[in-house]
Amino acid sequence: MIGLFLKLGFTAFGGPAAHIGIMHDEVVRRRKWLSEEQFLDLIGATNLIPGPNSTEMVIHIGYLRAGWPGLIAAGACFIFPAMAITTALAWAYVRYGATPQASFVLGGVQPVIIVIILQALTLLGRKALKDSLTWVIAIAALGLALLRINEVFVMFGGGILGMFAYAVRRGRRSGAGAILPLAGLSLPSLASVAAAVAPFSLGTLFLTFIKIGAVLYGSGYVLLAFLRADFVERLGWITEAQLLDAIAIGQLTPGPLFTSATFIGYLLGGPWAGVVATFGIFLPAFVFVAVSNPLIPRLRASPWTAGFLDSIIAASLGLMAAVTLQLGYAALRTPLAIGLAGAAALLLFRFRVNAMALVGGAAVIGLLVGIL
């Protein structure tokens, strides 16, 4: 297990949707650690709580495989490689005053990531979209996401509407005692704990990142908004340009985008501040998973919450489809990109080649083409 999640941490480019696609290939199709139904339930559960979804998926899987030691080991192995790479890039940024370029590698990797997400959507959709209602919710979520409606509203709106629609279908008029048993997991804002417009301190840095990790739902663009509000506007510790560079580094490196926190911490206080920032933003995810994982069977056992979870999963797949379309529009614009995507689709769908091997091969091809 440790070997798998370390490998994921070093090779999982492309953001949460791609990470989930790669994890599905590894833990459902290849290792058969989880069934399709269990994997889908974990996707639904991670969307009910704040924090980085793909990291929480890793932590859930580790907990199911080996209890508390697995929870900690899986999450740490997934986070550490990205943190180490981000620290190295932050060192280069501070020393040379510019973000190192990785456009050649990304040019090769991005088309393959699109295909990996498509494969995950195809396989998961066969299980999750089991009736007309889940199809309607998924398509509606896709359309609303493309219209830039907030992901949290789309997901929870789909879940609540689906829950009541299933209840009407069953002809029930009662039993809705606890629609959202996980709703109480959101931590109160810690903004008041962190000092306003204060000199840099590790304590304020840590508490600010704990606050962000504890309340943030949604994509990397939501993370950008939180970081800007706290570190640019409220504390004044970094500039707009540095914030954009931090997000760019998070996107260029494998693993979770939340390691942008590592970059910001390093800029502000060196390597130890990078560690403190990373620990702060990821700590709530470990807590939320530990609390919520035992509740997943209860969610599935209740007719009301089972309908809610099914609808959340359908909406999540719609959001993943929207991300795929948006990434595909940006990535598939050159003959090389289209050719790599076509080859990856053939190898993945027809010959079932390992997804991470495809990512590594595409990175090498992109680098060689760029250099030559």
Mean pLDDT of the chain: 82
pTM over 0.85? The answer is no
Q: Mapped to the 3 state alphabet, what secondary structure does 285-299 carry?
A: HHHHHHHHHHHHHHH
Is 66 buried (19+), middle (13-18) or exposed (0-12) by CB count in 10 A?
middle
Contacts of 155 (CB under 8 A, 6+ apart): 47, 141, 312, 315, 316, 319
Distance between CA atoms of residues 117 and 112, nearest Å: 9
Determine contact, residues 22/352, Cβ cutoff 8 Å.
Answer: no
Whether residue 320 has pLDDT greater than 60: yes
95: exposed, middle or buried (C-beta count within 10 Å: 0-12, 13-18, 19+)? exposed
Tell me what pLDDT residue 140 has: 95
Question: Rounded CA gap, 280 and 283, in Å?
Answer: 5
Report CA-CA distances (Å) from 4 to 11, 103, 255, 303: 11, 26, 13, 35
Predicted local confidence at residue 101, as pLDDT: 53
Q: Rounded to whole angstroms, how far apart are CA atoms 297 and 316?
A: 19
Of 213 and 18, the one with more pLDDT: 213
CA dist., res. 324 & res. 287, Å (int): 30
Per-residue pLDDT tens over the stretch 280-293? 999 999 999 999 88
Mean pLDDT of 148-171: 84
- Exposure b/e, 37-57, CB count within 10 A at least 16 = b: ebbbbbbbbbbbbbbbbbbbb
pLDDT of 362 strictly over 70: yes
Please report, rounded to a whole number, the percentage of residues in the chain having pLDDT higher than 90. 31
- C-alpha span between 31 and 106 (Å, rounded): 28
Q: What angle do CA 104, 242, 186 make, to 5 degrees?
A: 100
Q: How confident is the model at residue 135 (pLDDT cuts 50, 70, 90)?
A: very high
Model pLDDT, residue 74? 93
Q: How confident is the model at residue 248 (pLDDT cuts 50, 70, 90)?
A: low
Domain edges within the chain = 2-182+290-371
